[in-house]
Amino acid sequence: MPFKLVIFLCFWAAVANADLKELKLEADKPLERVALSHEATIRCCYHWNKKPHVTWIINIQNTNGTTMPSIVNQSKDVIEEKDGVKCHLLFFKSVRLNDTGLYQCKLNHDTLHIFTHGTFLQVYKPLQKTLNLSESVKNSIITAEGVLLLMCVLIPGTMLLCKSKRLNELERKKGQEEENIYEGLNLDDCNSAYHQIQRSNQQGPYQDVATCGEDIQLEKP
C-alpha cells in the first residue's frame, strides 16, 4: 500500500510539473495610480492551454507591516484573448481610498494554485484649487510681478549711479579749488620776500650802539 501511494504521488507530481512548464505568466503593470472617484482597470495575462479558475486577490498592508490577502468580489469575469494570451480584467467604476493595495490573479487548476506578479493600485486624493482664477487674471498677475521685479532692480541701481556721480563732482571741485590757490601768486615777489626774510635773520634783531648815527642820551639811574 505505501509503495502504491508513493507511485501515485510521483505520477501527480510529474503531471503538475508538465502543466507548470506549459504555463507562461505575462508581465503585469507594476503600478496603477488613479485619482479618487475615477475609473480604473487592472489586468493579469498568461499563456496556458488549460482553463483555470481565476480569482482576484487583494493584499492590504496592515499598520504592523503584515499583509492580509482577501478575495475581491466582482460581478463578472471579463476575459480578453489574443495570440493565445488570455487576460482577465478587473474594473473599478469609481475607486475609493480603501481600494489601494496589491491585486493578483490566483490561477486554480486541479491541485495547482499559482499567483500572478500583480499590480499595485494607488488611489490618491487630488489637490483642490484654493483660488479659481481665469487665464486673463493670471496673465495680469504675472505682468505685475515682472514690473515690480524690474523696479526692484532699476531703483537701487539708479540711486548708486547718482551717488557715485555726486562723489565724482565733489572730488573734481576740490581739485579745482586747490589749483586756484596758487593761480594769483607771483613767483618773483615770493622770491624777493623770501630773500628779505633771510637777510633780516642774518642781521639779527639788535644793532650795535656805535653804529647808530644819532646821539643817544642815556638816562641816569
149 pLDDT above the threshold of 80: yes
Mean pLDDT of all residues in 146-155? 88
120 pLDDT above the threshold of 60: yes
% of the chain residues with pLDDT over 70 = 69
The secondary structure of residue 175, as a DSSP letter, is H
Q: Where are the beta strands (DSSP E) in 36-194?
A: 40-47, 53-61, 67-71, 78-82, 85-92, 101-109, 112-115, 119-124
E strand or H helix that includes residue 170: helix 135-181
Q: Which among 93, 98, 48 is positioned nearest to 75, based on CA atoms?
A: 93
At a CB cut-off of 8 Å and minimum separation 6, what does 111 contact? Answer: 12, 16
Residue-wise pLDDT tens digits, 160-185: 888 888 888 888 877 776 666 655 55
User: Cell numbers at residue 52, please?
Assistant: 483555470
With H, G, I as helix, E, B as strand and everything else as coil, classify residue 80. strand
At a CB cut-off of 8 Å and minimum separation 6, what does 116 contact? Answer: 25, 28, 44, 46, 104, 105, 106, 107
